[in-house]
Amino acid sequence: MPAPDRSPLAPAWLSFPQDQARLDTKLWAEDVDRGDDGVLRIDGVSVDELAAEYGTPLFVMSERDFRSRAATFRDAFDDAFRDLCGGVDVFYAGKSFLCTEVAHWVREEGLGLDTCSGGELAVALSAGMPGHRLGLHGNNKSAAEITRAIDADLGRIVVDSLQEVALVGDLAVQRGRRANVMLRLTPGVHASTHEFIATAHEDQKFGLSLTTDQGPGQAAGEDTSPAARAVADALAHPGINLLGVHCHIGSQIFEPEGFELAAQRLLGFLAGVRDRHGVELAELDLGGGYGIAYTEEDEPRPAAEIARAMASVVGATCRELRLQVPRISIEPGRAIVGPTTFTLYTAGTTKTVRVDAAAGSGEPQDASVTHPRRYVSVDGGMSDNARPVLYGADYSAVLASRAPEAEPVLSRVVGKHCESGDIVVRDVYLPEDTGAGDLLAVPGTGAYCWVLSSNYNYLTRPPVVAVADGRARLIVRGETEEDLFRRDVQRPPATHDPALPAPEPGAPRTV
């Protein structure tokens, strides 16, 4: 039976708040708190000040927290792998969030940077990232993107298909260079995450399969998998410097077993390469995908714990295979930038509906008994956070502009778009008197929110501010209507042909 104050509509993981002013620290940047007046602050800067200066919706990022998380991954993995392979190369996954200022932070913290398009690569290069600390991913890179990467002497181009092995090599030869290449493999690991962000199983678009095609006439034990063929082609191509192999099993993953199994399978593949070609490839990239807390239900693992577990598996597997431990690299993105940022919204209209408990609990209920759910609309929505509608992602929210004092009620925070699925936070307890003009803050929006933003319903994309040393500064300018019209090719103003009779006053104009 639910607790007396708990809504029967609430999901099982959502607890009834005993102290609405308390912040769940795992959801927020380390310098976010409430002032004595109950107003949310970041590094001493109140959300009232931020909203007054920059408006809402607004992405608010802690520079200190970003740098701290980047350094934590760098140091934790270096410590865990130092005795095995001299340390780890950490590449920040720029697809999670990237702008020139963030690229500067990545460079200054000693990390590499992974890009997934020519545009992301252009941002990284414009911020002064040296080519040897950059990578280029993508399952369908254009010749122009590959050429730019070769000309910039990128540290790695992650090749995703057999056709791309030849394309990269041929382009490199044309430019009198050798391209640094890693091969992206699909180890067949089914990560415990949403279908659309699981990337290491067979039935999806990324990577070279490890599965051998047992065709007629094939010699017993012969490996004719796409991965094995790609290795042979890359080793034979004069335009390719084959560094090693890469995998990425998915995103928002908490369980360690997937990472460990992927490492074992790729190391086994590297041992097979040694046995067939007499070459021990020097590098192994184990990707990213480390989960963060979006709600109280999520329990992310500390970076040091992840690193120690992976180092233990890599060391033991290499000893068993009599394989020299390759240089390891990883690609955290969400785990670095996700918790650094919250989105600030202004609340508008509200309403309360009555819902039967069966609709929310999944358990048999008396449909004649209904319970209230409060809808709180905000001035953003799916155009600044598409994840709830894309993946059914859950988030949290708090009343940010004042101390929460009224009784908590189960609420749903929704956007202003013309879509019934425009949900920002599906289930959260908010004070009953939350209403127009109040500021709400949604934590954990640093990754895959701004970068997936759109102009749906012709809303302008929000700005991003970084806060450090008690000061906020703009790092991504918000769009204006003028920005939208700048891309809109409009008709020239209508003119009257003097050879025609003048239109009667009030008559429609001919365009």
Residue 116 appears among annotated catalytic residues:
no
Is there a contact between 191 and 289 (Cβ–Cβ < 8 Å)? yes
Pairing of strands 179-186, 156-159: parallel
Q: Which one-letter DSSP state was computed for residue 374?
A: E
In DSSP terms, 428 is beta-bridged to 411
Query: Containing H/E element for 3?
Result: none
Is there a contact between 376 and 411 (Cβ–Cβ < 8 Å)? yes
Q: Which of 251, 280, 271, 255 is nearest to 317 (CA)?
A: 271
Whether the upstream peptide bond of residue 57 has omega within 30° of 0, thus cis, is yes
Q: Is the dihedral of CA 484, 486, 488, 492 positive or negative?
A: positive
Residue by residue, DSSP assigns 120-183 as HHHHHHHTT--GGGEEE--SS--HHHHHHHHHTT-SEEEE-SHHHHHHHHHHHHHTT--EEEEE
Number of H-type helices and E-type strands within the chain: 13, 21
Catalytic residue among 85, 116, 318, 418: 418
Q: What share of the chain is helix, strand, coil (3-state, %, to 5)?
A: 30, 25, 45
d(CA 79, CA 91): 16
Active site residues: 418
